[in-house]
Amino acid sequence: MRVMVTGCAGFIGSHLTESLLADGFEVLGIDCFNSNYARADKLENLRRARDFDAFDFVPVDLGRGDLADLVADVEVVYHLAGEPGVRSSWGGTFSTYLHNNVLATQQLLEALKGWPGKRLVNASSSSVYGDAERLPTGEDVLPRPFSPYGVTKLAAEQLATLYHGNFDVPTVSLRYFSVYGPRQRPDMGINKFCRAVIEDRPILVFGDGTQTRDFTYVADIVAATRAAADSEAAVGNVYNVGGGSRVSVNEIIALLQDHTGRAIKTEHRPVQDGDVQDTGSDSSRAARDLGFSPKTPVHQGVIAEFEWLSEELRHSRRQLIPA
């Protein structure tokens, strides 16, 4: 089977691409290399995928449309492309979020409208809930985004739902909860914490560190995403995908301290606009319809990311040393 992965050079997209290639799929990878972090890092994310003859890469801005030829020869579109980040979605950058999250999704759906049976698996976010009225949060809780980013992810979800309802495009949306692991974006919390520890700098904490997240390891996200392409019960629905336990920022810092045996310093700043106090996923529907069961506990996953980043930084330093 030939499938498409949009955002294939990103954190989650590159892991999904490798997983599919390893299992014998042909993958058409799409990425526009948006400027949220270094192009070189994204190219490095694709290094293993490029070893496969079954991987084709096309640099495309999905928001510009004319996507019919791209979807013509694929059976499933895994739509992970988008503009990420809560804190950076305010002000003048909002137009970029509209383009990369809303318009890009609409253009893909328009292209798929002419091809009955081609499924879209849409990567959404727990940010659609904002300060959720109930924890753990089920899909029946009213979404109340607390950031412009969350607004655009909810809009993309709604587009997927209405194209399913009006044009029978088989869509599934997955609300990812705080994904982490090797290749995590450098602007995300656990990556920042690990980097600060490796470089012997204080960890910058926004708020008092008691805020919690339902951290979800990237391999578990990949498993749920692939399952969403196969489950007939999933078509037309939205699912939470969470790691299964809420962990505070302070607990993550303590975990890193235990692993390294170092006393870790912190510096505190005010809570940032758009940040919420807690997230927690009720993923029981994903368990029922997708067979989703997270395998990686936080203490293992954080150490895996720490060791990956340590090696990446060692490699970078080696590259800087003259021969």
Residues with active-site annotation: 149
3-state secondary structure the chain: CEEEEECCCCHHHHHHHHHHHHCCCEEEEEECCCCCCCHHHHHHHCCCHHHCCCEEEEECCHHHCCCHHHHCCCCEEEECCCCCCCHHHCHHHHHHHHHHHHHHHHHHHHHHHCCCCCEEEEEEEHHHCCCCCCCCECCCCCCCCCCHHHHHHHHHHHHHHHHHHHHCCCEEEEEECCEECCCCCCCCHHHHHHHHHHCCCCEEEECCCCCEECCEEHHHHHHHHHHHHHCCCCCCCEEEECCCCCEEHHHHHHHHHHHHCCCCCEEEECCCCCCCCECCECCHHHHHHHCCCCCCCHHHHHHHHHHHHHHHHHHHHHHHCCC
